[in-house]
Structure 1
Amino acid sequence: MKLYNFFRSGTSHRLRIALNLKGIATDYVAVDLRVDEQQNDAFKAVNPQQMVPALDTGDKVLIQSPAIIEWLEEKYPNPALLPAGTDERAHVRALAAIVGCDIHPINNRRILQTLRKQFGANEDAVNAWCGHWISEGFDAYEALIGADKTRGRFSFGDTPTLADLYLIPQVESARRFKVDLTKWPLIMAVEKACMELEAFQKAAPCQQPDAG
Structure 2
Amino acid sequence: MKLHNYFRSSASFRVRIALNLKGLAYDYIPVHIARGEHKTGPFAAISPDMLVPLLEDEGERFTQSLAIMEYLDEIQPEPALLPGDPVGRAHVRALAESIACEIHPLNNLRVLKYLVRELKLDDEAKNAWYRHWVREGMVSFERQLAQYPAGTYCYGNTPTIADCCLVPQIFNGKRFDCDFSGLPRTMAAFDACMQLDAFQRAEPSNCPDAEA
TM-score range, shorter chain: over 0.9
Superposed CA RMSD: 1.1
Task: Give the aligned partner of residue 186 of structure 2.
Answer: 187
Identity of aligned residues (%): 45
- Partner in structure 1 of residue 67 of structure 2: 67
Structure 2: where are the runs of 5+ without partners? none
- In 2, Cα distance between the equivalents of 1:115 and 1:185? 32
Question: Superposition pairs for residues 1-212 of structure 1, below 5 Å?
Answer: 1-148=1-148, 150-212=149-211
Any gaps of 5 or more consecutive residues in structure 1? none
SS in 2 for 1:119: coil
Structure 2 SS opposite 1:42? helix
Q: How many Å separate the matches in 1 of 2:62 and 2:89? A: 23
TM (norm. structure 2) is 0.96
Letter in 2 for 1:3: L
Task: For residue 118 of structure 2, give the secondary structure of its aligned residue in structure 1.
Answer: helix
Deviation at 1:74, TM superposition (A): 1.1
Offset from partner CA, 1:48-96 (integer Å, 9 cap, x none) = 2111001111411111111111111111111111112211111111111
Given that residues 17 and 199 in structure 2 are in contact (C-alpha distance below 8 angstroms), is that contact kept between their aligned partners in structure 1?
A: yes
Which 4+ residue blocks in structure 1 deviate beyond 2 angstroms?
none
Inter-partner Cα distance in structure 1 for 2:61 and 2:94: 27
Residues 82, 160 of structure 2: 8 Å contact kept = yes
The structural deviation recorded for 1:177 is 1.5
Q: 2-side partners of 1:58 and 1:82: how far apart?
A: 23
| Counterpart Cα distance in 2 of 1:33 and 1:41 | 12
C-alpha distance in structure 2 between counterparts of 1:151 and 1:183, whole Å: 16
Letter of the 2:176 partner, please give it. F
Aligned residues: 211
One-letter amino acid of the counterpart of residue 123, structure 1: D
TM, length-normalised to structure 1: 0.96
